[in-house]
Amino acid sequence: MDKIKKIIKLLFGYGGSQFLVILLPIILLPILTRSLTVVEFADFSIYKVISGLSTPIIAFALSTFLLKNFYSSLKNTVKSFIFNSSIFSILVTAVLIIITLFLSDALKVLLELNDHHVIVYAFINTCLFSIHTLLLTHYRAESNMKKFFMSNLSVFFITIGGVLFISNTNYMSLKLVLNIHMIGYLSSILMGFIFFIKFNSKDFSLNKHLLKKAVSFSIPLVLYSIFTQIYTGTDKLIINSMLTKIDLASYSAIFQLSFGVSAAGNVLQLAFSPYLFKKMSSNKTIDKEIVKTILSITFGMIIFSMIYYLLFPFLIEVFLPVEYFINIEIAKWFIIAGFMQVQYWIINPFLIIYEKNSYLLYIAIIAALVNIILNLIFTKNGVEYAAMIYCITWVIQYLGTLIAIYYAKKNFKTF
């Protein structure tokens, strides 16, 4: 019972502020859909796809390495790791931006963007978000709720306040919205580097051994994340290519509004993962307490998902203008997919604990291939097909992970 209380404390301590940040796309939705044109909002959807696709390469799963190893080998070198990881992300981002500038005209035509700078903003903001996430992971690992809370609130209030302000002026544009996102992440990073983390001079040096170890650990996770982002972004790219901008805009808006289910689950996972890594750092047994916690999360998410579905017609009326109502029937697929996504998030740390990161990659490759093939065949017939395919993909991901955990646990060797 004490363990359950501890998880609940972590949930409200870390989860509250994180939930606000995760909900940012939903909170901003009524502002952006009413202040931006349909074409601009469609371009914003492409920005989010590019950001998602570049996240594995820029972030390189280094925050996962930090969380897994903080309780053992990394605790004394975590500051150096944060600095080296940040430099790594910045350098990768610079390379991607240079490539983008050389291919700007081709990318603009391929993605049907009004402004190729949307791609550059996606890379920069992804880099800043990656560093922000790295700092949040450090705060979580050292159980510092205050720093975690303040970092998230700075991002939340700067982003919401900035977008609200410009939406009431004549200067509202997609580029300004992306700049405000950038300022929000920068505020958190500067707060962390200047006030929260006490760096020593030795921390600001290149640690090749540490970085090499982290990169080696992360390669399977990065490849896995790339394929995951492929099947979470392919639908929007194919809709952008085969259907209309209003189809893409409405699909993306309803997807974001349905994200409330995933957002709630993300907060639960935020509390559960550190608890799980710490509990199983020395003993790799999945005991009754872990099973009971997972079942409690599952039951809670079933109830939440059903309530969310029943409230969705009301949410549509509140959050979206009438021109975005054309594809409202697809919401049910996103809500089911969100539930399956949460179940997957809860169980996938077991594969990392059992040192079978590569299994995540194999599952993601299968899911991505199924997603791409089905989208290429069926999405031309309408966006509901894309939504159904998205849901099927998460079912495959979850079931594949369950099977992989069974074999990983069965074959795990302790020394």
Q: What is the pLDDT of residues 202-219, one digit of tens each?
A: 888 888 888 889 888 888
DSSP 8-state symbol, 195: I
Query: Sorting pLDDT into bands at 50, 70 and 90, what band is 235?
Result: very high
Region of poorest pLDDT, from 246-250, 294-298, 309-313, 328-332: 294-298
Domain housing 194: 2-411
Number of domains within the chain:
1
How confident is the model at residue 68, as a pLDDT? 81
Q: Please provide the distance, in angstroms rounded to a whole number, between the alpha carbons at the two ends of the chain.
A: 31
pTM of structure: 0.84
The amino acid present at 239, given as its one-letter code, is: I
How far apart (Å, rounded) are the C-alpha atoms in residues 185 and 154?
8
Q: What is the DSSP string of 220-240?
A: HHHHHHHHHHHHHHHHHHHHH
Q: Are 205 and 144 in contact (CB under 8 A)?
A: no
Distance CA 361, CA 120 (A): 28
What pLDDT is attached to residue 69?
A: 85
Q: Kindly provide the b/e burial profile for residues 208-224, where b requires at least 16 CB atoms within 10 angstroms of the residue's own CB.
A: eebbebbbebbebbbbb
User: 3-class DSSP state for residue 147?
Assistant: helix
Give the relative orientation of helices 208-242 and 245-258 as an angle to the nearest 10 degrees. Answer: 130
Segment 248-298, tens digit of pLDDT: 999 999 999 998 898 888 777 777 777 787 777 767 777 788 888 889 889
SS3 state of residue 410: helix
| Amino acid 373: pLDDT | 95
Among 50, 64, 62, which Cα is nearest to 87's? 62
Instruction: Read off the pLDDT of residues 43-82 as tens digits, 9 standing for 90 and up.
Output: 999 999 999 999 999 999 999 889 888 877 777 788 899 9
